Structure 1
């Protein structure tokens, strides 16, 4: 379970720093979600990058178990 916790923290930090590129979604195996983040950022001239920041903060506020169940097992796409 410790590996999943470090994944949560890593995804959260990456989401905050470069979430506009969808890298945090690619890291979790969600290729479609990552591509959607890139498209949103391109269409909104970068303003869509706030989605990544919000997701990163949400990841960091969840427990390791919640993060794993919600985003890895259930593969929740948005927030």
Structure 2
């Protein structure tokens, strides 16, 4: 991937991490150009968003402040890691779950 492709995809890569609506906006805007850098970050952000909702549903039923804070800190770090990768123009796979997201959503951006 050349630097021009990365530079063109940085903005939508960043938008992808701004809630699930941002992911949808980036997805539809990337449909025309099929920028591989943006597609990578869309897959990462979509996976994070869906995982956040699934685990958040379970955590909210536990009614424990310690579990809730750990959940928020964990996902904040993962989102910030993804945002940092999008801003700096790197294809940083999110720790622990990033490879799974790339495999599950591999059809996005193809």
TM superposition score category, shorter chain reference = 0.3 to 0.5
TM-score (norm 2): 0.38
Q: Which structure has the larger Rg over C-alpha atoms?
A: 2
